């Protein structure tokens, strides 16, 4: 067995800021053993010529819904070229309906009404008109809204008398359900609908991991175990994947349960370089698209300010307990009010209990008040942001937020405030490839080609740093992963283009020719290793 691989023939960046990349890198025992000029290279068992490739530390997707991406791929997509309007998508549903056996559910996904001329989600009446006699369940691309026809409402036992769950809502018109469910209500719907066998879900989840590996990703965090089917069913699927072994990524998990439930399930925060459970997820508010993100002010186009997903006291309890028991908190917070609430909760938890590792995470940090940056930085909060939301959503932000929309999804001002920033996809809500995220960090171009808040663009180096070092910090892997200096884990990708010199168009299309995790190949279609 080859013990010592010497990589040569390319440009090897130790980290995003490396101004003098190495010509050669020795890998031994799963670690970087040496870097430097070819003529100084120590002896090796095998020389690997990467033929002009660019080497970067392996990327981290710090927030992705691996299981949900796999499921979304099986649904009738509303984002395809044949679904450029609500009318066209409904027609597509009708065609699929006519080709399916009777009684089977029809599932659709990727609905983003903001990209359609009608600017409307399909409701029960619209779906009934094309599919009257089988259950249809559609998922908005954000995962926070469900749309159903009458048959699905009936199959799930939902009727006008059904009460709204706390933190969620079944939309109603003249007392009747419209078929649209939001937040907690949508969650209940997705969990109650029939689902494929565990083995099938595991297989499609594994394919998503392989796709990340093809993009040069070596670690990822599943951002809410429990979001799609509930915690215990998803936990079982992850255990199955672990048994199957040979995974191409180092994985971290956010368990979408409270600290008390974690204790009941005997789940404890731990450190494991391959399989890390040390993070609990809480949704503090909703999203801008559904007008459920909690704002201090009002939305521009509708009456309302969004809402918190839990009582304030419950949010504070969650954070205090999680912190006290050694968990990392990952809090979904988008509206400025939600962001202030979570920062306050983290500040008081840290003041009440001194702990060694206290870096909690705020996911999205979508519409912060400018005063939040400094407070978050002082508390060591890690911001996990999603640049590819800009091409997918930003054209709709002025509708929701009026002249305040430029405050959405900042990037440069976070770094300027001294915050640690990690990039992520939040796929299926954002684009899966980290390179589309890096491209969006750099260009901040919306789907219509506008530039959203030019002062918030990042350099390519800052962007790559957010996906390498930033991602490692978010997973609390810093110190042993995220750069390629001597002694660090041999997690790296050989890219087909140099991100620091290619055009911004090419940036979004970069792929990996060879991805190595811990000195083992995860993706090697050319047989380089
Ligand atoms: Zn997410």
Range 74-93 average pLDDT: 94
Q: Ligand 1: distance of its center to the CA of 433 in Å? A: 15
CA 223 to centroid of ligand 1, rounded, Å: 6
**What is the per-residue pLDDT for 80?**
85
58-78: average pLDDT: 95
* End-to-end CA separation in angstroms for the chain: 12
pLDDT digits (tens, 9 = 90+) for 183-224: 999 999 999 999 999 999 999 999 999 999 999 999 999 999
Q: Choose which CATH entry (3.20.20.70, 3.10.310.70, 3.30.2270.10, 3.20.20.80) describes domain 75-192.
A: 3.10.310.70
Domain ranges of the chain: 61-66+197-515, 75-192
Residue 307 pLDDT grade (very low, low, confident, very high; cuts 50, 70, 90): very high
Which token pair is 479? Answer: 């110190």
Helix (H) or strand (E) holding 5: strand 4-8
How far is the centre of ligand 1, averaged over its atoms, from the C-alpha of 224 (Å)?
7
What does the pLDDT look like over 377-406, one tens digit per residue?
Answer: 999 999 999 999 999 999 999 999 999 999
pLDDT at res. 422: 98
pLDDT of residue 59: 98
Distance 195 CA to ligand 1 centre (A): 20
State in Å: Cα 227 to ligand 1 middle: 9
- Rounded to the nearest angstrom, the distance between the alpha carbon of 28 and the centre of ligand 1 is 36
CA of 151 to the centre of ligand 1 (A): 29
pLDDT on residue 143: 86
Between the CA of 103 and the centroid of ligand 1 the distance, in Å, is: 32
pLDDT at 351: 95
Does 75-192 match 61-66+197-515 at the fold level?
Answer: no
Mean pLDDT of the 483-491 span:
98
Distance 332 CA to ligand 1 centre (A): 8
Give residue 141 CA to ligand 1 midpoint distance, Å.
11
Say if residue 58's pLDDT is above 90: yes
422, 465 contact by CB (below 8 A): no
Q: Ligand 1 centre and the CA of 393: distance in Å?
A: 15
Percent of the chain with pLDDT over 70: 100
Q: Taking 90 as the threshold, does the pLDDT of residue 318 lie above it?
A: yes
Q: What pLDDT does 227 receive?
A: 87
Q: What is the pLDDT of residue 1?
A: 64
How far does residue 499's CA lie from ligand 1's centre (Å)? 26
Q: Is the pLDDT of residue 358 over 80?
A: no
- Given this model, what pLDDT does residue 102 score? 79
DSSP code string of 245-301: ---SSEEEEEE-S-HHHHHHTT------SSEEEEEEEEE-B--TTTT-S--SS--SS
- For residue 24, the CA-to-ligand 1 centroid distance in Å is 38
Angle 231-244/198-214 helices, nearest 10 degrees? 70
Q: How far is the CA of 447 from the centre of ligand 1 (A)?
A: 21
Q: pLDDT class for 103, splitting at 50, 70, 90?
A: confident
Please state, in angstroms and rounded to a whole number, the distance separating the CA atoms of residues 37 and 336: 50
Kindly report the average pLDDT of the chain as a whole number. 96
Whether the predicted pLDDT of 2 surpasses 80: no
Q: 2 CA to middle of ligand 1, Å?
A: 40
Query: What pLDDT is recorded for position 355?
Result: 83
Greater confidence, 142 or 342? 342
- Tell me: ipTM over 0.90: yes
Within 10 angstroms of residue 429's Cβ, the number of other Cβ atoms is 28
Q: Residue 208 Cα, ligand 1 centroid: separation in angstroms? A: 15
Distance 453 CA to ligand 1 centre (A): 23
Beta strands 176-183 and 145-148: pairing type? Answer: antiparallel
pLDDT band at 115 (very low <50, low <70, confident <90, very high): confident
pLDDT in tens, 411-445: 999 999 999 999 999 999 999 999 999 999 999 99
Residues near 142 by beta carbon (within 8 Å), at least 6 away in sequence: 287, 289, 290, 429
User: What CATH number belongs to 61-66+197-515?
Assistant: 3.20.20.140
* Span from the CA of 426 to the centroid of ligand 1 (angstroms): 5
CA 176, distance to chain mean position in Å, is 35
**Secondary structure (H, E, C), 42-62:** CCCCEEEECCCCEEEECEEEE
Contacting residues for 449 by C-beta, under 8 A, at least 6 apart: none
Flag the least confident range among 20-24, 110-114, 457-461: 110-114
Rounded distance from Cα 38 to ligand 1 centre (Å)? 43
- The alpha carbon of 279 and the centre of ligand 1 are apart by a number of angstroms equal to 14
Give the CA count within 13 Å in the CB-facing half-sphere of 378. 12
User: Which strand ranges, in their side-by-side order, compose the sheet holding 328-333?
Assistant: 59-64, 217-225, 250-255, 275-283, 328-333, 361-364, 382-385, 420-423
CA angle 502-504-505, nearest 5°?
100
C-alpha of residue 280 to centroid of ligand 1, in Å = 13
């Amino acid at each position: 067995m080859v013990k010592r691989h010497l990589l040569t023939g390319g440009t090897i960046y130790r980290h995003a800021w490396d101004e003098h990349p190495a010509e050669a890198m020795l890998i031994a025992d799963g670690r970087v053993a040496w870097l430097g000029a070819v003529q100084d290279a120590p002896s090796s068992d095998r020389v690997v010529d990467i033929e002009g490739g660019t080497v970067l530390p392996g990327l981290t997707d710090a927030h992705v819904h691996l299981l949900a991406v796999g499921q979304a791929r099986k649904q009738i997509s509303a984002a395809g070229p044949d679904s450029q309007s609500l009318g066209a998508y409904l027609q597509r549903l009708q065609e699929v309906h006519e080709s399916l056996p009777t009684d089977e559910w029809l599932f659709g996904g990727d609905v983003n009404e903001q990209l359609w001329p009608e600017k409307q989600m399909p409701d029960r009446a619209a779906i009934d008109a094309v599919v009257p006699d089988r259950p249809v369940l559609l998922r908005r691309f954000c995962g926070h809204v469900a749309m159903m026809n009458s048959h699905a409402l009936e199959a799930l036992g939902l009727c006008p008398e059904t009460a709204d769950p706390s933190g969620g809502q079944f939309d109603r018109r003249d007392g009747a359900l419209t078929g649209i469910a939001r937040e907690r209500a949508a969650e209940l719907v997705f969990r109650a609908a029939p689902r494929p066998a565990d083995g099938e879900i595991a297989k499609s989840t594994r394919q998503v991991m392989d796709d990340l590996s093809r993009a040069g990703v070596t670690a990822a965090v599943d951002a809410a175990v429990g979001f799609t089917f509930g915690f215990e069913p998803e936990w079982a699927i992850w255990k199955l994947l672990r048994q199957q072994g040979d995974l191409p990524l180092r994985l971290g998990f956010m368990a979408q349960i409270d600290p008390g439930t974690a204790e009941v399930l005997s789940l404890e925060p731990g450190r494991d370089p391959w399989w890390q459970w040390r993070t609990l997820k809480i949704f503090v508010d909703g999203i801008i698209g559904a007008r459920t993100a909690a704002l201090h002010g009002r939305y521009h186009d509708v009456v309302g300010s969004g809402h918190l997903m839990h009582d304030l006291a419950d949010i504070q309890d969650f954070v205090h307990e999680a912190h006290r028991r050694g968990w990392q908190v990952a809090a979904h917070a988008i509206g400025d009010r939600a962001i202030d609430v979570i920062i306050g909760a983290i500040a008081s938890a840290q003041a009440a209990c001194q702990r060694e590792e206290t870096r909690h995470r705020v996911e999205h940090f979508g519409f912060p008040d400018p005063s939040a940056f400094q407070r978050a930085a002082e508390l060591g909060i890690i911001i996990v942001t999603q640049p590819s939301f800009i091409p997918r959503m930003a054209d709709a932000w002025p509708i929701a937020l009026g002249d305040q929309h430029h405050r959405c999804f900042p990037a440069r001002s976070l770094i300027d405030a001294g915050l640690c920033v990690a990039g992520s996809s939040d796929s299926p809500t954002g684009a899966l490839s980290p390179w589309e995220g890096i491209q969006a960090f750099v260009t901040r171009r919306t789907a219509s080609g506008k530039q959203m808040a030019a002062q918030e663009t990042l350099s390519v180096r800052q962007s790559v740093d957010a996906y390498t070092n930033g991602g490692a910090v978010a997973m609390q892997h810093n110190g042993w992963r995220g750069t390629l200096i001597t002694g660090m884990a041999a997690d790296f990708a050989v890219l087909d283009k140099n991100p620091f010199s290619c055009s911004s168009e090419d940036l979004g299309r970069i792929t990996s020719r060879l991805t190595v995790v811990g000195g083992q190949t995860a993706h090697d279609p050319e047989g380089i290793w």
